[in-house]
Structure 1
């Protein structure tokens, strides 16, 4: 008796399942594992781990924070790019902040734990911090001198274009009272500080460019996190502004530090992909090896 079409189809499907399971579930993983054991590939397959005196201290593929237990920057180390992954560079919480260029208004609250900074104020605060630490100008357009977003809520009747031609109240929405606002007046109206918890979205939100130069010494990678939050690299430009601090902390010359930076600077991948980059983890370990901090 001939088998029915239904049975033949299911037997064929079962054979295909078994064959594909053997190939993709057994043969392929074993082949990949075997290739990964070849000389030159084994270390990468294991996570590009870095060991010092037999102890694993990190990975050349994952950034680290070089701070003390209180989160203060350790002056003898190059600082990494900011990270939004967990508490910083957490491989189990790899993520970005998901804040974009339209995030310019902070959420203010009388409880500091409930304050939520916008992307603009985050960038402004980081830029000021880096500028103060590296003794360079950390001012940026749309930032106040105190490192928050320079943004106003202009309240008043609007014209057909949505502009407020005659404001009746102007609030610096990112500066909580009793802070003195970064501007005294706007269109003849006194600028007020923001009361935590108040909603000023009824006004027209106006970012103020300010007088800061666009070519700030503090580069973008010093104030923004990478998409993964795990990036171990910084730009040569960010490394360059840290050289003086490192040399002073380790009591060595700036030329000695620059030589190490150059040694740990990689060019564009395949000569045209991406940008030159400096691996901070490997650079700091090399600094400790060659120029250990003296007590």
Structure 2
């Protein structure tokens, strides 16, 4: 007896559903689990977890902060790069700040909750803080001595041309002191909260200052990664932290530098990416070799 066409089509569709359910819903996932159990891959499949005293303390693939309860860096540990993932290294909020190099003017509002730091000011503040923590020169081009973006709003007599008639340090407000006393012979004012000087017709002028062309504090110490979860820092950032960590642990800087070298990975395939230091792995090695009392 020949089945009706509509019924035969439905039975064929049901058989296809059952076959692909078994293949893709059962066999394929189980095959991937089995591959993940292969020696050498099991650790990665479980999240590349690192342990201390038998307890998981983090993943080699996700960065974390080494700060105290108040958010201050713990001196005996190497510090990670900044993170824009929520409050820092939140894997459920992975992402960047999405601020670009043209973001140089802070929003200074009467209500502090409505204020916003530009990317430039964030970089300046981080550089100054890293320099102070590690006893190195934290100056950067286009940054003021008090750690904000060195940016002026310049009003000119004829709009975009002519002599300056008014100059405002847009990222500084009272009680700060202007980072420049005058510009083109015009006294520099402090910014007034709530004022939009660009909309008022001013030209925004960043001032380079006298900082070295190659800052001592490297870029990864003051900028977050695209994911906000990068567990690595550059060898240059690790280098400026060695003296501090050695001093805090009462260790020989040469021995600490040796540990840094041991936890530095090279370029992928010898030519892709850049050398990097895994911060969590390095700090665990420090605790094992130079435990604090």
TM-score by length of 2: 0.93
Mapped to 2, the partners of 1:4 and 1:164 lie a distance apart of: 85
Aligned position for 2:39:
39
Pair 1:242-2:241 in alignment: yes
Mapped to 1, the partners of 2:45 and 2:182 lie a distance apart of: 60
- Alignment gaps of 5+ in structure 2: none
Aligned position for 2:140:
140
* 1:124/1:143 contact within 8 Å kept: yes
Mapped to 2, the partners of 1:256 and 1:195 lie a distance apart of: 52
Alpha-carbon shift at residue 58 of structure 1 (Å) = 0.8
What do the CA deviations read for 1:152-201 (whole angstroms, capped 9, x no partner)? 11123446xxx332222111100012321111111221110001111111
Aligned position for 1:281:
280
Aligned Cα RMSD in Å? 1.8
Aligned position for 2:51:
51
Mapped to 1, the partners of 2:28 and 2:83 lie a distance apart of: 35
Cα gap change, 1:35 to 1:200, in 2 (>3 Å):
same
Aligned position for 2:69:
69
Mapped to 2, the partners of 1:166 and 1:2 lie a distance apart of: 96
Matches within 5 A, 1:60-209: 60-158=60-158, 163-201=160-198, 202-209=201-208
Mapped to 1, the partners of 2:37 and 2:218 lie a distance apart of: 40
Q: Secondary structure at the match of 1:167?
A: strand
Mapped to 2, the partners of 1:22 and 1:139 lie a distance apart of: 62
* 1:108/1:174 contact within 8 Å kept: yes
Of 187-196 and 1-10, the range deviating more from structure 2:
1-10
Aligned position for 1:19:
19
Mapped to 2, the partners of 1:3 and 1:145 lie a distance apart of: 87
Mapped to 2, the partners of 1:24 and 1:59 lie a distance apart of: 30
- Alignment gaps of 5+ in structure 1: none
Number of aligned residue pairs: 291
Mapped to 1, the partners of 2:47 and 2:127 lie a distance apart of: 32
TM-score by length of 1: 0.93
